[in-house]
């Protein structure tokens, strides 16, 4: 039966020209009406590019006419004039990172949920699955990725005056922690954070990558907004622990991504449970909160990672679990989550 939901799902097949994301995730579809087999759709573009409008309109008409029960299609595409275009606010002004197929933001509403640990292990898990992977640490004030990935050397500078990211465990790594002396604090205002993240994206020789994972700081501040406005993200992965205190802040992170039209790829429940030496399962932070929240938010639940002391120990050694012991249950959990991510981004 034809409905607005059916039409919306069908329009997810229409990509914005030059981008891997669809017009629904970009928030371009403003009105959908269905009546007696007639479908009317209104789109509001943020770019005055007539070629893009023509292509989108044609693809929308083709997709909708292919639906069962549709006998008439009207697609109205509205565009700003050149003078009306909102430079800096339009996703069409975002710039792709050369050679990088997919950019995934790894975020959390609050600190202490193991986001950087998950980022490091997911990067290594994607590499384990045969992908070309980069890992960008955007936590400017508290970078921890160099420690967890075992990277200590400063980046070299190429002939093109780009930073060459060190490679650890087959993953290209960039972090503010690689540019500072030990224990040197970063005491910067927002504009400096913005400029640094932009340089990490475009002044680093990432080369050809299948995935660039971006480890974001907690919260919804300058780093998150800069990333979302600068490059077209393929999606966000939200890390949480099971308890309500963490999930409450997760909702704010999801709301932020929704406001900037970044699709949520899914939620990961970290520190899901602990297995005692006698085999007893202990749910220190409760259990299942991440899965229930994913259902409430209508997003995918990517998986759960149990608590193992070995995860922390491996991170402190600079050799993530997925690398040091790939057959460990924790490593298998990270690899399964990475496989789930790949399915979304094929």
User: In CATH, what number is assigned to the domain containing residue 329?
Assistant: 3.40.50.300
DSSP state of 286: B
Helix (H) or strand (E) holding 290: helix 289-297
Q: Flag whether pLDDT at 281 surpasses 90.
A: no
3-class SS at 95? coil
HSE, side-chain direction, 13 A CA sphere, residue 334: 31
- What's the CATH number where 71 sits? 3.30.300.130
The model's pLDDT over 174-183, given as tens digits with 9 standing for 90+, comes to 999 898 776 6
Last residue of a domain, one of 58, 86, 114: 86
How many structural domains are present in the chain? 2
Instruction: Report residue 190's pLDDT band, with 50, 70 and 90 as the boundaries.
Output: low
| Domain, as residue range, for 293 | 94-344
Asked if residue 76 and residue 115 are part of one domain, the reply reads no
- Average pLDDT for residues 16-33, to the nearest whole number? 83
Please count the other Cβ atoms lying within 10 Å of the Cβ belonging to residue 276: 8
C-alpha radius of gyration, the chain, whole number: 22
Higher-pLDDT residue of 89 and 211 is 211
Asked if residue 46 and residue 141 are part of one domain, the reply reads no
Asked if residue 112 and residue 55 are part of one domain, the reply reads no
């Amino acid at each position: 039966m034809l409905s607005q939901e059916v039409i919306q799902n069908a329009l997810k097949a229409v990509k914005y020209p030059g981008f891997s994301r669809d017009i629904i995730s970009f928030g371009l579809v403003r009105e959908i009406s269905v009546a007696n087999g007639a479908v009317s759709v209104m789109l509001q573009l943020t770019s005055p590019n007539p070629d893009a409008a023509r292509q989108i309109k044609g693809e929308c008409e083709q997709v909708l006419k292919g639906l069962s029960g549709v006998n008439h299609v009207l697609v109205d595409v509205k565009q700003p004039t050149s003078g009306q275009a909102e430079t800096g606010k339009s996703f069409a002004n975002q710039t792709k990172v050369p050679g990088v197929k997919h950019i995934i933001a790894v975020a959390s509403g609050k600190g202490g949920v193991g986001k950087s640990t998950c980022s490091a292990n997911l990067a290594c898990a994607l590499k384990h699955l045969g992908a070309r992977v980069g890992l960008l640490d955007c936590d400017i004030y508290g970078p921890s990725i160099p420690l967890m990935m075992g990277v200590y050397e400063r980046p070299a500078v190429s002939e093109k005056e780009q930073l060459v990211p060190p490679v650890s465990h087959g993953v290209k790594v960039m972090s503010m922690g690689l540019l500072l002396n030990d224990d040197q604090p970063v005491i910067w205002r927002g504009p400096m954070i913005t400029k640094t993240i932009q340089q990490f994206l475009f002044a680093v020789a990432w080369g050809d990558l299948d995935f660039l994972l971006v480890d974001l700081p907690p919260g919804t501040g300058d780093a998150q907004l800069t990333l979302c406005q600068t490059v077209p993200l393929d999606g966000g992965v939200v890390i949480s622990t099971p308890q309500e205190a963490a999930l409450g802040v997760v909702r704010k992170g999801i709301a932020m991504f929704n406001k900037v039209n970044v699709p949520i790829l899914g939620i990961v429940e970290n520190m899901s449970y602990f297995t005692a030496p006698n085999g007893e399962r202990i749910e220190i932070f409760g259990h299942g909160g991440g899965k229930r929240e994913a259902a409430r938010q209508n997003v995918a639940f990517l998986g759960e990672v149990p608590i193992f002391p070995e995860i922390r120990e491996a991170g402190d050694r600079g050799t993530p679990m997925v690398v040091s012991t790939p057959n460990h249950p924790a490593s298998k959990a990270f690899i399964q989550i990475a496989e789930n991510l790949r399915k979304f981004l094929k």
